Amino acid sequence: MSHLHVLPVERKTVYEHNDTFVWNGITGIEAADGVILYSWYTGGEREPRPENLVVFTRSMDGGETWASPEIACDPPGAVRAADPMLWIGPDGVLRHWLCVNDSAKDSGDWQVLERTSSDYCGPSVSWTEPTVIEAGLGDWLNMNKPIVLSDGSWMFPAMVRNGPSKGLSYFEGFKCAGVVITADAGLTWEGRTTPDFAGSWIWEPMVIQRDNGDILMYFRTDYGQIFQVHSADQGRTWSEFSATGIPNPNTRFHLRKLPTGQIILLNNPNAENWGKRTPLALHISRDDARTWPEMYIIDTGEIFMYPDACLDADGHTLHMSYENRKDIFYASFDLAQVL
C-alpha cells in the first residue's frame, strides 16, 4: 500500500483545442538554459487519422507564454505523423524523433524519423532534414525518452510489431518490446528485442539502468497494471515478464532515475483496463524500483494523462508535459519537496 500525499502543481495551458486542431495529444518535453521545448501531435478529430501531424513550440519565460506551434512533420497522402519524442543528449544536441505510418496499411508501415537542432535556445530554431533511424527492427516505433548507459552508449525504448494486426493498422501486432542502442552518438543503431508477450500487446515501454547495471523495462498492458522485464546484458536477453503491481489503466507513463538515486514514475494509478486516466500521480521508489511505497497526487480532473518529463539543469526541478486529448498542459515542481 502506497503512502498517499497531495502535491498540487500550477498547471499552465500550452495550447487550447480549436476548430482546426480539435484533437491534441502525446506530448514530449525538454528544457535547457531557461528555454522549455515542447512537441505533440494533432490534426483531425482523433487518432489515427491521415491528417495527424506533429508540431513544436517553445517557451522562453518558464512556461508563462508559448510561441505559436510550428508544423514539424506533415506527410502527404495517407501517411500520418505522430508520437514525438524530444531529448537533449550528452552532446548538447536536441533530438526530435517522429513516428510516421501509412494509415491505409495493416503492417510494414512504421518508420522513426530523427531531426536535430543545435540552436534550440537561440532567437530561432533551425533543424536538419529528417532521416530514418535504421535499427534492423522492421516495423517499430518509439515515443519515450532514452537513457545514457554506464558505458556511455544511449538506449532508446522501442515497441516492435511482429504479430498480426487483424486489419487494424495502428495498435495491434506489437507483440514484443525492445531497445535501440547507439555507441557512436547516433551514427549507427542496433535493435534488440524481448521475447513475445503473452498478452494482447506491449506498448510505450520505458527503461532505466539499475545500480547493478541491469536494464529494467516497464511497459503498458491491458492487465490493469504495469508489467516489467529486465536484462543483465544490455538487452540481448531478457527475463520472463512479470507484473509490477503498479495500477495503470492501459496508458502511457513516465519512468526516470534521478541523479540522487531515487526513481520516479508519473502514472495514472487506476487498475481498471481502459479506465479513467486520472488522477496524475508521482510514485517514488528508493530501492531501485523494487518497491513503490510513496505516491503524490499531482493533478485531478476528468483525464490528465500521457505525461513526459525532463529534469532541469539544477538537478531538482522537474518539467512535465501532459494532456487531456483536447488541450496541452505544462507544469513544474521542485523534487526537493518529496525527496
For residue 97, the model assigns a pLDDT of 98
- pLDDT, averaged per 10 consecutive residues of the chain (339 residues), comes to 82 96 97 97 91 97 96 93 97 97 72 97 97 94 96 97 72 90 97 93 95 97 96 97 97 97 98 96 98 96 95 96 98 95
Strand, coil or helix: 170: coil
For residue 104, the model assigns a pLDDT of 66
Burial of 224 per CB tally in 10 Å (0-12, 13-18, 19+): middle
For residue 106, the model assigns a pLDDT of 58
Burial of 230 per CB tally in 10 Å (0-12, 13-18, 19+): middle
Cα within 13 Å of Cα(291), Cβ side: 7
Grid coordinates in use for 293? 511505497
Burial of 272 per CB tally in 10 Å (0-12, 13-18, 19+): exposed
- Cα(290)–Cα(144) distance, integer angstroms: 22
Contact assessment for residue 202 and residue 228, using Cβ atoms and an 8 Å cutoff = no
Cα within 13 Å of Cα(13), Cβ side: 8
Q: What is the pLDDT of residues 48-61, one digit of tens each?
A: 888 999 999 999 99
Grid coordinates in use for 128? 536538419
- Residue ranges of domains in the chain, CATH in brackets: 3-337 (2.120.10.10)
- Cα(246)–Cα(66) distance, integer angstroms: 35
The whole-model pTM stands at 0.96
75-to-68, 102, 117 alpha-carbon distances in Å: 20, 10, 20
The contacts found for 227-232 with CB under 8 angstroms, 24 or more apart, are: 227/197, 227/199, 227/202, 229/177, 229/194
Three-class SS of 179-198: EEEECCCCCCCEEEECCCCC
Strands (E), 33-124: 35-42, 53-59, 70-73, 79-88, 94-102, 111-117
DSSP secondary structure of 283-314: EEESSTTS---EEEEEE-SS--EEEEEEE-TT
Contact assessment for residue 235 and residue 181, using Cβ atoms and an 8 Å cutoff = yes
Cα within 13 Å of Cα(99), Cβ side: 25
